[in-house]
Chains A and B, each alone.
Chain A
Amino acid sequence: IDYTGVSSDSPCYNCAKNFTWNTTEPCVCTVNFTLLQPNVFMYYGLSNFYQNHRRYVKSRDDRQLNGDLSALTDPSKECEPYRKSGDVSIAPCGAIANSLFNDTLVLYYVDSNNSKIEVPLVKKGIAWWTDKHVKFRNPAGNSNLTLAFQDTAKPVNWAKPVYELDPSDPDNNGFINEDFIVWMRTAALPTFRKLYRIIQKKSGTTPTLPNGNYMLNITYNYPVLSFDGRKRMILSTISWMGGKNPFLGIAYITVGSICFFLGVVLLIIHHKYDNRNTSADIPS
């Protein structure tokens, strides 16, 4: 669902228009939609966002993210110009971290009597297991994250420092915050989607998301209009084969039929050629 708010009839139009970085009060807009199938995975998608730009891709410090203490206070040069804020080094440094997607999406189910029931969104398990447990680590030596990050500054665009990304859950805070990890895995193409939340299947036969009307509540923080970008929320189910992927199917059918067609053609050619060949061989 495109909630960027380009056209004036979009509910987020005002939020998009009146955006400034220094608002303290988040702009909230609400989009109504109807959901027909039962879906499980919730993504946010961005378009025209060059996460694969070279300057952007390399603007990170993997040592810092791995909890290296020296890198925490002295990040790699690659992080420029998001390396230091004043004299204090930024944690996490770099352009990728700085531009962390910070819209908050909340999904509500509007049941028959128009009351909103919040759909429970699970925010764990959205990042690669290896990333969360090996590649990303909070600075060692201090269990209190506030103290661990005390010599660092928050990224310029962030509203709150890294140790407050998810204060409710210490396993999901700091560098090992899964939203953060997901964002740090730079996308291959300018139009991409990232896993935002998982809506877990309920026990029994009840569908994960019952048919009916839903409401998406968006805390609109992330500006994309400046570079002509788009934001979307995607809900998708996944099979063992991954998500819906029409291309693979079409491609298989196409290649298969081309092969079959060629097979028939070549069979015919082969038969013709075979006759000619044997007759031509006799004199020699």
Chain B
Amino acid sequence: MDSEREGPLILVECHLCVGEENWVDSRTIYIGHKEPPPGTEAFIQQRFPDNRIVSSKYTFWNFIPKNMFEQFRRVANFYFLIIFLVQLIIDTPTSPVTSGLPLFFVITVTAIKQGYEDWLRHKADNAVNQCSVHVVHHGKVVRKQSRKLRVGDVVLVKEDETFPCDLILLSSSRDDGTCFVTTASLDGESSHKTYYAVQETKAYNTEKEVDTIHATIECEQPQPDLYKFVGRINIYMTNEPVARPLGSENLLLRGATLKNTEYIYAVVIYTGMETKMALNYQSKSQKRSAVEKSMNAYLVVYLCILISKALINTALKYVWQSDPNKDEPFYNQKTEVERQRHLIRAFTDFLAFMVLFNYIIPVSMYVTVEMQKFLGSYFIMWDDEMFDEELGERAVVNTSDLNEELGQVEYVFTDKTGTLTENNMEFIECCVDGHVYVPHAICNGQVMPGAAGMDMIDSSPGPAAREHEELFFRALCLCHTVQVKEEDTVDGIKHGIHQGKSTSFYISSSPDEVALVEGMKRLGFTYLRLKDGQMEILNREDEVEKFELLDVLTFDSVRRRMSVIVRATGEVYLFCKGADSSIFPRVISGKVDQVRARVEQNAVEGLRTLCVAYRSLSPEQYEEVFQLLNRAKLALQDRDKQLAEAYDLIEKDLILLGATAVEDRLQEKAADTIESLHKAGIKVWVLTGDKMETAAATCYASKLFHRNTQILELTTKRTEEQSLHDVLFELSRTVLRQHGGMTRDTFSELSGDCTDYGLIIDGATLSAVMRPGQEGSNSGNYKEKFLEICRNCSAVLCCRMAPLQKAQIVKLIKASEEHPITLAIGDGANDVSMILEAHVGIGIMGKEGRQAVRNSDYAIPKFKHLKKMLLVHGHYYYIRISELVQYFFYKNVCFIFPQFLYQFFCGFSQQPLYDTAYLTLYNISFTSLPILLYSLIEQHINMDILKKDPCLYRDIAKNSLLRWPTFIYWTVLGVYDAIVMFFGAYFLFDNTTFTSNGQMFGNWTFGTLVFTVLVFTVTFKLALDTHYWTWINHFVIWGSLIFFVVFSLLWGGIIWPFLNYQRMYYVFMQMLSSGPAWLSIILLITASLLPDVVKKVIWRTLWPTTTERIQGQLSEFTPLASLHAPSKGSSHRRGSENQRNPRRSEPFTKKVMFTRWQKAPDYCTFTPLLRFADSSRHSRQGYNYSGAGPETSV
């Protein structure tokens, strides 16, 4: 009817808006799929995806190819695949099974694991996609599967249901068009947030009515930011379309849950993979640990060794072959085919050598390292000392790849609020115009209605002050975003309040606000609720005052303040509360100086202060403000910027009322933790958004700064006086002079303590330092100078930091010369950037939601747990993994080097020294379990000692156990052992008879002899390195040796029908039946282990590290009689157990060092279990151990 007339108008307007803003990135949604009034067809219906969520990676069909592709993208897997293929194609010394089997095993296990995970994801996806949703269809509620939802559908969501996709709220069961939502599954904040319906649509709250809504929504294309949304709704109600702004307060996100609201109607705008939740799913970037990096470096070295070995052998082979009599003697002629392929022969020879030596880089190392990390991470989770009873939470490991990195941390960046402190706010006092009020009844969380108890420190306030005071209290009651939550339903509010029952409590995203509102309650002003845009306050006289809430100028971290505009009995007030620095410049009257003095005093005491100010607005002024705000809110682009500008214009000409102080107590043992970290050589930086004074006070309280710490300030105050340049240079001079002084008397520890420097820097100065200057080189200079200063300070406090600046600082340190390992710890959303940036990110399960925890690599319940995490777990993990890596390379050098040497004695013919079964199983079963177990449970020093003596952490700093000298030592040791083993066996076999019946041994016996010595040497070497013996260790170490013997007996004991060669038949038995073989095995093992033992003893006595000194104090090295004869050794051992204090007096035989913890009686004292120890003792020890398990994290 009217639309005919309206048509062109709308068209014009819409053309206008399209032309005006011209943004491509927008979408238009027709609510209920109803065509807009004619004329608007100018919009082309966009195609939107359906609401199917796909988080799975594979489908049934592409699983195998895709998974294989992904797995072989890993360099190691690819390398092994190549080796395997080479073995298949060319004639190689070892059968393809030897490398194919382990590779196949690894690939299969990984594929099964990934497949299972993907299957779970499929299941979860299906469950989500198929759950039914109520959709309003032609005025009726229809059930639909979630995945069939389309953009533009109107859905009905009932209480406690989860939103199936991103929705715009149209109306709710509540009259005011609001609904409460908890986003616990999105960001972990369990508080209820209020969302609003657009004024025009909130009345349509039955399905019939909703169906009549005629509107289009324009909004931006999906963006991952959870808290940003810009859109506009055009409602064609009667005649002309009404445009209303849509913001994040209208947007209900998928994954959130409806609470305290019976039902809502909402329209679908983003579906499926376009929802904000799905867009936020992106996985975190992989962090690689320093150990992994050095491991990769070693791998490259070994690859080079491998290639050069193969090259040398190939070259020598051709030299050797140049003599035809050697190449092809009469007894060993080539086939025709072999003779012909002379050209490519060289290359295949090279490949064959590669294959022969490829075991030097074993598949199993990757598997073992992965398993070690995966299983090892459980120790953190199981740790009972990291269990927090208050929260009922354990530590959580999100990434097990970084375990060992915990032992390498050099810089700790910590947040203050919620991390160092408890973030449990308590209202301490307030100050109105210089008068200080302290609620005397400190009963946190306990509400006593009508309790007007307060102490007036300053007596007799005048009437004007009285008025100010009341205004101040009201301001605090009004200026917040706190919600009231009742146990009862919504209707129960009145009931509860009227009966004076305190069943309600406050919920807010900011604990400060709760503390303030609760403080006000104790001072007599109770905030009741927000209803229909009216805020209700119960004042001291038990009267309900009503204020109409006109606008909320929300808090943000840039402005650091928030305001509300309320109307009370005709007058319009703007109440503003915020940080002193953001309020004072905007104040035009009020007792600024007195308040400022009080604020500063409070700040020094470590209290969090907020200032409160107000401004009364005349109706005209309000109108102006209203316009301003509306315009900003309606803007589709740059709305935030415009809003900020508008806020800036509005929040001015304030009148100061007073200030509040809220205490945030230090977390328990925070100081102790920081002190330990300091002693461990870790530099602790505090990065906080707080005021400098507050932060500094906390730092003193937490012993980050000591009494004698000389504080260097690099703050705006100072830079105002001098130029930044001068300050920086002056500071660096100071620090460097001190540094020079330090070197002069390095030995005096006291002087080191005296000249401790602490640096305080604030955000503004920092950004000046960091700013990429126009002067180019000069600014780089600033950065370097700043770094230099920081590196020489033991503690740095950065205050007034924006979240991004925190990350910037971490990045700066990360990129500095030494590339130190950084750790960031925090609890709030503002720490996320820093947590993601640092090498290791730790989240604290605090009160500010779970965002930090979700983004962290590890999460712990309290700050104090950091100490154990780093000093104990980090230390252990590092020791374990470094030993694991080095040992793995060592044992494979031992394994392969004899093979290399053998080539010189078999005409470079690639003849393997060991049997195929030995080649395959060496890394898989003969030697893998002991090292895996070692790398899981080794504790070279008692846990308590590690905790008590943080200095030990310095011993492993800077990747000290994985540096090149250590690596070379291990490699040389491996080569030495290999030479001893090979040439020992060589000289024994050379021209002598081994047996008592004169029969001779062949090449396989030779290989078996070498292999036997090898397995025993390598296992004993590990036993020598083990300090922490449990029955499992004994079981695994001796068990794997026994397994080797049993396997060999079995392998040689039967004619295996499936093999077409029987080379190992009875070889092992024959070998064991000969006396010299036994003698030589013992001799060779001794000779191989001797240098390592000697090196250890000499190093230990002459140049002990701190760790070793402590070990020495605690434990004794018991010289055990030889391992030559186990039976003899056992009696010796028993003897030495009884001797309480055997000296290290007889080191000339082989020693097994074992450790007895004598200082800790509650610790299990365990005696070394012998290889064949009686089983009852085994089981008893086992019980002890499993009992002590959780506590000692065995």
* C-alpha gap A188/B332 in the complex (Å): 16
A236 adjacent to B993 (CB under 8 Å): yes
The answer, among B335, B996, B1003, for a CB contact under 8 Å with A188, is B1003
Whether A188 lies near B989 (C-beta < 8 A) is yes
Is B1083 part of the binding interface, using a Cβ–Cβ cutoff of 8 Å?
yes
Asked if A51 meets B1003 with Cβ closer than 8 Å, knowing A134-B1065, A263-B1148, the reply is yes
| A41 touching B993, Cβ below 8 Å | yes
Pick the contact of A54: B329, B909, B1069, B1076 (CB < 8 A): B909
Q: In this complex, what residue of B is CB-closest to A237?
A: B998
Task: Say how far A130's CB is from chain B's closest CB, in angstroms.
Answer: 4
* Residues of chain A contacted by B445 (CB below 8 angstroms): none
Q: Which residues in A have their C-beta under 8 angstroms from that of B1062?
A: 62, 66, 135
Indicate whether A98 sits within 8 Å of B331 (C-beta atoms), given known contacts A135-B1062, A267-B1147. Answer: yes
CB pair B1145 A241 closer than 8 Å: no
CB contact between B909 and one of A50, A99, A255 (< 8 Å): that residue: A50
CA distance A140 to B994 in the complex (A): 34
Choose, from B38-46, B559-567, B594-602, B1086-1094, the stretch at the interface: B1086-1094
Q: Is residue A36 contacting chain B, with contact meaning CB distance below 8 A?
A: no
Of residues 80 to 109 in B, which have CB atoms within 8 Å of A's CB atoms? 93
Known: A54-B909, A255-B1087. A41 touches B990 (CB 8 A): no
- CA distance in complex: A82, B1143 (Å): 66
Nearest CB of chain A from residue B1123's CB, rounded to whole Å: 13
Decide yes or no: A40 and B1060 within 8 Å by CB, A135-B1065, A241-B1076, A248-B1079 being known contacts: no
Within 8 A of A (CB), among B1045-1070: 1055, 1060-1063, 1065-1066, 1069-1070
Within 8 A of B (CB), among A154-206: 157, 182, 185-195, 198
Interface residues of B in 874-921 (CB under 8 A from A): 905-907, 909-912
Does residue B1097 face the partner (Cβ distance < 8 Å to A)?
Answer: yes
CB within 8 Å for A187 and B325 given contacts A236-B993, A245-B992: no
**B487 shortest CB reach to chain A, Å:** 59
What is the chain A residue whose CB lies nearest that of B1063? A62
Interface string of A61-75 (1 = CB under 8 A from B): 111001000000000
Do B993 and A251 touch (CB < 8 A)? Answer: no
A260 nearest CB across to chain B (Å): 5
* Highest count of chain A CB atoms <10 Å: which of B911, B998, B1062: B998
The answer to whether the Cβ of A115 comes within 8 Å of any Cβ in the partner chain is: no
Tell me the count of chain A residues lying within 8 A, CB to CB, of chain B: 81
Q: Which residues of B contact A54 (CB under 8 A)?
A: 93, 906, 909-912
Q: With an 8 A cutoff between CB atoms, is B1075 at the interface?
A: yes
- Distance of A27 Cα from B1112 Cα, bound (Å): 75
- Complexed CA–CA distance, A80 and B335 (Å): 6
Is there an interface contact between B1147 and A125, defined as CB atoms closer than 8 Å? no
Contact A243 B1147 (CB under 8 A): no
> A53 within 8 Å of B by Cβ?
yes
> Any chain B CB within 8 A of the CB of A242?
yes
B-side contacts of A51, CB under 8 Å: 1003
Q: Which residues of B contact A127 (CB under 8 A)?
A: 999
Name which of B217-225, B386-394, B980-988 contacts chain A.
B980-988
Option from A60, A187, A226, A264 in Cβ contact (under 8 Å) with B329: A226
Chain B, residue nearest A76 (CB): B1060
Chain A residue contacts of B992, Cβ below 8 A: 242-245, 247
> Are B998 and A190 neighbours in the complex by a CB distance under 8 Å?
no
CA distance A185 to B1000 in the complex (A): 9
Name the contact of A189 in the complex, choosing from B989, B998, B1087, B1144 (C-beta under 8 A).
B989
The answer to whether A258 has its CB under 8 Å from any CB of chain B is: yes
Judged by a CB distance under 8 angstroms, whether A269 is at the interface is yes
Using Cβ atoms and an 8 Å threshold, which residues of chain A touch B998? 40-41, 126, 195, 198, 236, 238, 243
**Interface presence of B1002 (CB below 8 A):** yes
Q: How far is the CA of A24 from the CA of B1112 in the complex (A)?
A: 80
B interface, size bucket: 35 or more
Task: Determine if B113 is an interface residue (Cβ-Cβ < 8 Å).
Answer: no
- The answer to whether A240 and B1075 touch across the interface, beta carbons within 8 angstroms, is yes
- In the complex, what residues of B have CB within 8 A of residue A55's CB? 332, 334, 338, 909
- Alpha-carbon separation in the docked complex, A273 to B263 (Å): 81
Cross-chain contact of A240 among B996, B1000, B1148 (Cβ < 8 A): B996
CB pair A248 B1076 closer than 8 Å? yes
In the assembled complex, the Cα of A157 lies from the Cα of B1076 at a distance in Å of 37
Inter-chain CA distance A241–B1080, complex, in Å, is: 11
List residues of chain B with CB within 8 A of the CB of A186: 1002-1003
A63 to B1086 Cα, complex, angstroms = 40
Q: Is B907 in contact with A266, judged by CB distance below 8 angstroms?
A: no
Q: Report yes or no: A57 in contact with B990, Cβ–Cβ below 8 A.
A: no
In the complex, B377 has a CB within 8 A of chain A: no
CB atoms of A245 and B1000 under 8 A apart? no
Contact A81 B336 (CB under 8 A): yes
Select from chain A the residue with minimum beta-carbon distance to B1145: A267
Chain B residue numbers with a CB within 8 Å of A258 are: 1090
Tell me the nearest residue of chain B to A252, going by C-beta: B1083
Question: Is the C-beta of A87 less than 8 angstroms from some C-beta in chain B?
Answer: no
Q: Mark B1130-1162, 1 if CB is under 8 A from A, else 0.
A: 000000000000011111110000000000000
Nearest CB on B from A156, distance (A): 10
Check: A25 CB closer than 8 A to any chain B CB.
no
Verify A193–B991 contact, CB threshold 8 A: yes
- Chain A residues with Cβ below 8 Å from B1007 are 188
- Residue contact B993 to A99, C-beta cutoff 8 Å: no
Answer yes or no: B343 CB below 8 A from chain A CBs: no
Does A279 lie at the interface of the complex (its beta carbon under 8 Å from any beta carbon of B)? no
Residue of A nearest to B337 (CB): A80
B326 at interface, CB cutoff 8 A: yes
Residue numbers in B under 8 Å from A248 (CB-CB): 988, 1076, 1079-1080, 1083
A33 at the interface (CB under 8 A from B): no
* Whole-angstrom distance between the Cβ of A240 and the nearest chain B Cβ: 5
B1065 contacts which chain A residues (CB < 8 A)?
130-131, 134-135
If the complex has contacts A81-B333, A242-B995, A259-B1148, are A63 and B1060 also in contact, measured as CB distance less than 8 A? yes
Residues 249-284 of A contacting B (Cβ, < 8 Å): 251-252, 255, 258-264, 266-267, 269-270, 273, 277, 281
- B734 on the A face (CB < 8 A): no
Contacting residues, chain A, for B988 (C-beta < 8 A): 245, 247-248
CB-CB < 8 A to B1097: which residues of A? 266, 269
The answer on a CB contact under 8 Å between A245 and B1076 is yes
- Assess the B1143–A270 pair: CB atoms within 8 A: yes
Residue contact B909 to A125, C-beta cutoff 8 Å? no
B1074 within 8 A of A: yes
Separation of A268 and B168 alpha carbons in the complex (Å): 85
Is the C-beta of A228 less than 8 angstroms from some C-beta in chain B? yes
C-alpha spacing A60/B1149, complex, angstroms:
46
Given A245-B1076, A267-B1145, residue A255 in contact with residue B911 (CB < 8 A): no
List of B residues within 8 angstroms of A58 by Cβ: 1061
Q: Which residues from chain A sit less than 8 Å from chain B, CB to CB?
A: 40-41, 43, 45, 49-63, 66, 76, 80-82, 95, 98-99, 125-128, 130-131, 134-135, 157, 182, 185-195, 198, 223, 226-228, 236, 238-245, 247-248, 251-252, 255, 258-264, 266-267, 269-270, 273, 277, 281
Given contacts A185-B1000, A195-B993, 20 further A-B pairs with CB under 8 A are A40-B998, A50-B909, A52-B906, A53-B907, A53-B909, A54-B912, A81-B334, A95-B333, A125-B997, A157-B330, A186-B1003, A187-B1000, A187-B1003, A228-B325, A236-B998, A239-B996, A242-B992, A242-B994, A266-B1144, A266-B1147
17 chain-A/chain-B pairs, Cβ below 8 angstroms: A50-B906, A52-B911, A53-B907, A54-B912, A66-B1062, A76-B1060, A134-B1066, A135-B1055, A157-B330, A182-B1000, A193-B993, A228-B325, A236-B998, A245-B1076, A247-B988, A266-B1098, A277-B1112
Which residues of B are at the interface with A, using a C-beta cutoff of 8 A?
A: 93, 325-326, 329-336, 338, 905-907, 909-912, 984, 986-1003, 1005-1007, 1055, 1060-1063, 1065-1066, 1069-1070, 1074-1076, 1079-1080, 1083, 1086-1087, 1090, 1094, 1097-1098, 1101-1102, 1109, 1112-1113, 1143-1149
Closest 5 CB pairs of A and B: A263-B1148, A99-B331, A243-B993, A188-B1006, A54-B909
